[in-house]
Chain A
Amino acid sequence: MPEQMIGNGIRYTEICDPKFRSCMLLLRFYMPRDAQTAPVHALLTDQLTASSAAYPGLSALSRRLDALYAADFSGRLMLCGDAAALSFSASWLDDRFALEQEDLTGEMLELVTGCLLKPNLTDGGFSEPEFSLCRQNLLDDIDCERNDKRLYAMQRAAALSFEGEPAALPPFGERQYAEAITPQQAYAVWTQILRTAPIDIVCILPSAKPVRAALEAAFSQIPRSPVPAPLQAVSPLREVPQRCEERISMNQSKLVMTYKFRGIAPDVLRMLNSILGGINNSLLFLNVREARSLCYYCLSSYSLLKGILSIDCGVQSTDLPAAEAAVSEQIALLRRGEFPESMLREAVLDYQGRAAVRENTNSGTAGRIADGQMLGDTRSPDEIAAAFSQITRAQIAEAARQLVPDTVYILRAEEADEP
């Protein structure tokens, strides 16, 4: 893969693919998180994409992006192990489609580096009124965490499973710390990130353009002393599984069950997850949804960095015991290796298909590369599929036997939910 270092701890990867009609630039900054910095990280994704010294105020940047043919510059927070990643992405139309022969690539590089490296500042902090609005947005996000009940249940289960670890912090942090953020503190956290965060940059272009040189020049102005972020932070195993039930006013109850593990090879875990609840015809889909009509969705997911596998489903309150038992049965089937041999092949095909579809967009390609770099796995999708195809039923069963029940979390519908 054509990757190179363009600064101290700044990895740059560029792919040219003529099938795309737009350009994509992805920048990820990795850093540790704690209760105080967690809300600041969330705020920064908004603050740094709202304005810059060149485009101060709230609408100047939006208008510029409109004039650049719906170019986009946005940020989001990712939780990776016990670390956070500030992920910024910019996309813009390829220069060949500009109606007035504008240099869209040059304009966007200036805009992006301006936002990140030359923000709109007053008295050593982010300028008003943008700062106050971004902080208010953050407080709203914290207040609205319960809006999406499925996500909320997953977050509550994670908080319980990772109790005492940075990964237990809510995605947007806690309200009390968010309220206390000042423009100066937020900017200080950002300058610290610029100095110390390992940075991955991925650029996907339809044809070669001088992006690398522009970014190298821009980041060379920053004194850098990178500090590794705690990405791999496997959560301790629990001797006695815990249960927690909370009530909320809604129609459908949510069930989340987590299992922790040690020593399962990443590829085996990914195949196990596919067979259990990742592919279209997973054990959870066939045996919990289709055969017993217990739910509309029942899925599994995992984090290699935290060493956890989660299963979540939405069910009627009266069916919660049956759903929990049915999920446990599927784990038991895996442990005994009792699943059709064909599922192994389907899991490989499923991965190949998803990987190919992901490559249909430049954002998908950039995400795949950046994710691989984060996990230290830079194999191509074909190489990964080849490795998956070597995994056997016995390996899956052995891995399933390593799953240690950790948490059962129920978010129970407070009202009678007979539909």
Chain B
Amino acid sequence: MTLTDPLTGDTCRIIRHRSGLEIRVTELPDFRTASAQLVTKFGAQHIRYRTKDKPDIEKLPSGIAHYLEHKLFENTDCNASELFAKLGAHDNAYTDYDRTVYYFQTAGAFPDALRVLLDFVIHPFFSAESVERERGIILQELQEALDDPADVLEMQLMNGLYHAHPVRNHVLGTAQSIRQITPELLYQCHRSFYQLGNMALCCAGHVSEAEILRIADELLPDHAEQPVQTELLLPEEPETVCARHVQCSMDVGRTQFMIGFKSPPADGPERLRESLLCLLVIELLAGDSSPLYLRLLDRGLLHDTFATDCLTGTGWFAVTAEGESDDPEAVCAALCDEIARMKAEGIDEKRFDDCKKAAYGDAVLGMNSPEAAADAMTDAFVLGIDTPFARTALLAALTPADAQDCLMRRFDPNNLTVSVIAPL
């Protein structure tokens, strides 16, 4: 399948390899580097699942996807990073709630680096000793995260918004759950979620589709294995928030807050469209060109930066606004007043057009490097859509009426959480 962005002329080729792996390629020959990402739809939210052939519910310690990400780098005789380093490729990986992504960038050794990537992710090797050694490193990573106010603020917000969804757990897990992870559990996760049919290879930049396919043929099985069909089991999640206000104290200079509006989840292309709409609406409500933002600054209620976002995944959807204020509840009240006003008076069409233009500008630049293009293809794969170019077309079709509708559906002042970190 070939998809083309009418605006920029970029193309994305999608090939289903005979091994079951989906391969997505955007050739950008003007760039000197190449970027490759190998993604599996297995992330921090996968802590309860069932396979088709076994009726029992499998339970995993939180943080296991991230632990597996760390451990896969270890081969029988060396660390995959050492192999990348010998090739001059820069490798890394990250775990999110819905995915784990392994990637590299390179200026001159793409074929060999791709071989390393495919090999270490697909062929696990864990010894009890190496799994134990990694535990200390991951516990230190967790300690660092627990000292990061931004991390704590968001985690605390998710615990206020959600009663049971695994997004309540830190991606790294807890010290207790990390201690429960064994080589056997890691192998079990790999068997269940690292099947090629659950994964995609996204390559962009100075790459050749033919070369990528040749390497895939060389290293991957010549047929798709019978998939271990896994079903993610999410707990029943009420529509209402778990707590209206959540708070802790840390060594921070000023009070920090994050407000989150909970609303029903969305999947596939609908999630993308709803996210774009929510980002437009929160920008209209509280962005740095909004009247509300000015009023908050004027009244001394806001300090420094005020950032808005839309955070979403399978089974969860939240629009957020965060910043620093001595009175977060007053900021929240002002935001709710503005929501009520905009619901009653409607969306300002001129500002809607300007915000839409800004979103369009971001979308055009979204594929302007090998790394960005690979990111966009990975996002699309995890979302379950083909095209990485959907944003510009979706944006073009959005109207003020769509934004008004989104405002009514997703910004409920009675369904929000205020997460606060107060100075000690």
Contacts and interface: CB of A to CB of B under 8 A. Distances in A.
Interface of A: 18-22, 58-59, 62-63, 65-71, 93, 97, 99, 129, 133, 136-137, 140-150, 248-252, 279-281, 289-290, 293-297, 314-316, 342, 345-346, 348-350, 352-357, 359-361, 417, 419
A59 B90 contact: no
Contact of B289 (A22, A59, A295, A314): A59
12 contacts: A69-B357, A69-B361, A70-B360, A97-B364, A149-B147, A252-B147, A290-B137, A294-B136, A346-B85, A349-B86, A354-B90, A361-B368
Interface centre among A69, A136, A137, A355, by most B CB within 10 Å? A69
B77 interface: no
A249 B88 contact: no
A316 B369 CA distance: 39
A78 B318 CA distance: 36
Contact of B134 (A141, A293, A297): A293
B351 to A, nearest CB: 8
B90 A353 contact: yes
Given A97-B7, A146-B251, A349-B88, A289 B137 contact: yes
Interface stretch (B185-193, B296-304, B411-419): B296-304
A141 B304 contact: yes
A155 B192 CA distance: 46
B133 A293 contact: yes
A250 B143 CA distance: 9
Contact of A63 (B133, B138, B251, B289): B289
Given A18-B30, A140-B254, A290-B79, A419 B357 contact: no
Contacts of B175: 419
A293 B365 contact: no
B252 interface: yes
A133 B253 contact: no
B89 interface: yes
Contact of B139 (A18, A143, A419): A419
B106 interface: yes
A357 B33 contact: yes
Contacts of A252: 140, 143-144, 146-147
Given A140-B304, A280-B90, A70 B361 contact: yes
6 residue pairs, one from A and one from B, having the closest CB atoms:
A349-B88, A69-B361, A293-B136, A144-B253, A356-B107, A70-B361
Given A66-B289, A294-B140, A354-B90, 11 more contacts: A59-B291, A69-B361, A70-B360, A252-B143, A252-B144, A281-B81, A316-B140, A342-B86, A349-B87, A353-B108, A360-B205
A71 B289 CA distance: 13
A281 B289 CA distance: 45
B333 interface: no
B2 interface: no
A99 B136 CA distance: 54
B422 interface: no
A59 B294 contact: yes
B380 to A, nearest CB: 20
Nearest to A343: B85
Contacts of B424: 249
A382 to B, nearest CB: 11
B334 interface: no
A337 to B, nearest CB: 20
B354 interface: yes
Given A146-B251, A249-B251, A280 B81 contact: yes
A294 B143 CA distance: 12
B187 to A, nearest CB: 21
Contacts of A359: 32
B84 interface: yes
Interface string B271-293: 00000000000000001111101
A59 B368 CA distance: 29
Contacts of A294: 136, 140
Contacts of B88: 346, 348-350, 352-353
